[in-house]
């Protein structure tokens, strides 16, 4: 997990920011549109075939709701031994929310128009990202706020648990992958939307986690300030 946290101007930073710029440009100029539409046409036929799968996908997408994540971050922030983790999550969430809000307004990509045929999750799907920057921010598709927030959790928690879990901490990266799949499954996003969101989340959380020294933290260590 140490390779997933880094300083600005490091090689991982330039790789991730270049990938995000590439995916963003490809989305803006509709380069990936044919592939995105082809995937959604295939996924569209899956909804409603299995009630259990539909419920799992609905639950997964709701776990990355901004309110739940902020609440979890606040809880960690209150507890002394997890304060650095909570602070890293909160800072990362605020930054990715602002960036996704601006990006949605700038790219202005409409969400998929296909009707979801699966069983509806009991809790109504929440808006993807707060947007104070344009009127249609909630309806814009790229990048996925849910995917970016899930990536933040995967990186921050993975880095924080690396000293205790070792290579097993990489399993936490499955969380953003599963959330991304769920967002496409319920037809809220195109594949490129969630790819861009995950890259953005990795980028921001990797920087913040490195600055917080989470990858070097030992279980039960005292709280230290961000450098």
Q: Report pLDDT for 126.
A: 65
Sorted by sequence, the CB contacts under 8 Å of residue 176 that are 6+ apart come out as 147, 150, 151, 153, 154, 198, 201
Instruction: Fold for 2-216, please state it.
Output: Vanadium-containing Chloroperoxidase; domain 1 (1.20.144)
Would you give the DSSP letter of residue 140? B
The answer to whether the beta carbons of residues 146 and 61 sit under 8 Å apart is: yes
User: Whole-prediction pTM value?
Assistant: 0.91
Q: List the domain boundaries for the chain.
A: 2-216
**pLDDT, tens digit, for every residue of 81-119?**
999 999 999 999 999 999 998 898 889 899 998 888 887
Count CB atoms within 10 A of the CB of residue 129.
Answer: 24
Angle at 205 between CA 190 and CA 220, to 5 degrees: 135
Q: What is the mean pLDDT of residues 69-88?
A: 94
Spatial separation of the C-alpha atoms in residues 159 and 12, rounded to whole Å: 15
Count CB atoms within 10 A of the CB of residue 145.
Answer: 33
């Amino acid at each position: 997990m140490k390779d997933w946290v880094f300083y600005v101007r490091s090689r991982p930073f330039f790789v991730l920011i270049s990938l995000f710029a590439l995916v963003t440009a490809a989305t803006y100029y509709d380069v990936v549109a044919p592939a995105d539409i082809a995937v959604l046409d295939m996924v569209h036929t899956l909804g409603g075939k299995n009630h259990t799968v539909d419920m799992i996908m609905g639950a997964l997408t709701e776990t990355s709701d901004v309110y739940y994540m902020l609440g979890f971050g606040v809880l960690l922030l209150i507890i002394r031994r997890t304060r650095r983790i909570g602070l890293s999550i909160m800072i990362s969430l605020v930054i990715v929310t602002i960036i996704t809000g601006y990006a949605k307004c700038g790219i202005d990509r409409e969400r998929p128009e296909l009707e979801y045929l699966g069983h509806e999750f009991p809790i109504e799907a929440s808006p993807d990202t707060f947007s104070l920057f344009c009127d249609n921010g909630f309806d814009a598709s790229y990048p996925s706020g849910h995917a970016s927030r899930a990536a933040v959790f995967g990186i921050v928690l993975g880095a924080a648990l690396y000293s205790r879990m070792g290579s097993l901490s990489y399993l936490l990266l499955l969380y953003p992958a599963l959330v991304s799949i769920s967002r496409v499954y319920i037809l809220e996003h195109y594949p490129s939307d969630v790819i861009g969101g995950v890259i953005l989340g990795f980028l921001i959380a990797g920087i913040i986690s490195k600055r917080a020294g989470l990858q070097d933290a030992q279980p039960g260590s005292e709280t230290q300030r961000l450098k």
